[in-house]
Amino acid sequence: MKILANDGIHLSGIKHLEEAGHQVDTTTVSQSQLAHYINEHQIEVVLVRSATEIKEALIDQCPSIKLIGRGGVGMDNIAVDYAISKGIKVINTPDASARAVAELSFAHLLSGARFLYDANRNMPLEGDTHFKDLKKSYATGMELKGKTLGIFGFGNIGQETAKIGLSMGMNVLFFDPEIKSITLELDFFNGHKVPFILEASSRESVLEESHFISLHVPSQKEYCIDRNAFSMLKKGVGIINTARGNALDEVALIEFLDNETVAFAGLDVFESEPNPEIKILMHPNISLTPHIGAATLEAQEKIGLSLAKQIISFDHA
């Protein structure tokens, strides 16, 4: 089959596909020219990440498409139901990037707990002249062990985040309307596994009892953490969002950061992405990354291989 990996694919995935007899095109085609390119080259499989959209109009214009693949978890840039109704197979890679996103969530969490986001801004400017003052200003950091981590959304990424929290000695609470109880396996480097049973908490309990909150919900119409939710939070809470920009009310976030209900936030995704609001970018108590949750070498390799295996399986079906 002819495959267009419009947002790229790891070399291991390309190799796997080519060895199976498929043609892989890694040209990056602009959204406006995509339909023309697909039709001109009779592309049968389109692989995307978050940059390219495959919506109804494109599907109607490109009858050669047999399969659409999303390298990652979220499918909001693909008209999934419409594609399926047209007989097009739609795949994604929900497991491949879970650990990468979970580790980034903890990178933001640790950065907030020890003021690294702020120290990295101020040390280059004042480290040589106000070293002792900076040392004093960052002397009230928090340790994570013994603190409560609240997780909203308990799919693959939420579960990986919980495993890291448990391994660090944290009390983990979670809310997910689809999951009431789950047994997690904590995997250690020597192959040893330890099972851990978690029972779901109510939404209110997670909001009121957590020292830190991490969001791992899919794209949705209403905020997961809205203004009312902010009013229920424990004073001094830290909030991490590596899920979707629309999971968090950013206007309310600024307000509750300024009144010190929220001590810090860590954001990898933004409501107005790819043009985050200047108040978010300039706020002194927000740790920032440009939507890099799945951007590790290991995750990209796993994503590429997962897509390749699913495409080969589809072709052989």
Given 114, 130, 203, 291, the catalytic residue: 291
Looking at the structure of the chain, the number of domains it has is 2
Residue 46 sits in the same domain as residue 9: yes
Q: What is the pLDDT of residue 220?
A: 84
Burial (CB < 10 A; 0-12, 13-18, 19+), residue 30, is exposed
| 291 among known catalytic residues | yes
Residue 198 sits in which domain range?
Answer: 98-288
DSSP class of residue 27?
-
Residue indicated by tokens 């939404």: 203
Structure tokens of 199? Answer: 């029972």
| 273 among known catalytic residues | yes
Residue 201 sits in the same domain as residue 303: no
Residue 74 sits in the same domain as residue 128: no
Q: Is the pTM of this model over 0.85?
A: yes
In single-letter form, the type of residue at position 29 comes to V
| 70 among known catalytic residues | no
Residue 125 sits in the same domain as residue 61: no
Question: What span, in angstroms and rounded, lies between the C-alpha atoms of 136 and 61?
Answer: 62
Given 53, 255, 273, 301, the catalytic residue: 273
Given 244, 250, 271, 283, the catalytic residue: 244
Residue 223 sits in the same domain as residue 268: yes
Question: Which SS3 state, helix, strand or coil, does residue 71 take?
Answer: coil
Helices marked H in 210-295 — which ranges?
Answer: 227-230, 250-258, 278-282
Q: What is the pLDDT of residue 72?
A: 87
Q: How far is CA 25 from the centre of its chain?
A: 27
Residue 137's CATH number: 3.40.50.720
- Which residue in 33, 37, 172 sits closest to 102, CA to CA? 172
Residue 133 sits in the same domain as residue 242: yes
Strands (E), 97-161: 148-152
Residue 129 sits in the same domain as residue 86: no
Structure tokens of 302? Answer: 């796993």
Residue 202 sits in the same domain as residue 60: no
32-59: buried (b, 16+ CB within 10 Å) or exposed (e) per residue?
eebbebbeeeebbbbbbbbebebeeebb
One pLDDT digit (tens) per residue for the chain, 317 residues: 999 999 999 999 999 999 999 999 999 999 999 999 999 999 999 999 988 999 999 999 999 999 999 998 888 899 999 999 999 999 999 889 999 999 999 999 999 999 999 999 999 999 999 999 999 999 999 999 999 999 999 999 999 999 999 999 999 999 999 999 999 999 988 889 999 999 999 999 999 999 999 999 988 889 999 999 999 999 999 999 999 999 999 999 999 999 999 999 999 999 999 999 999 999 999 999 999 999 999 999 999 999 999 999 998 87
β-pairing, 193-199 with 89-92? unpaired
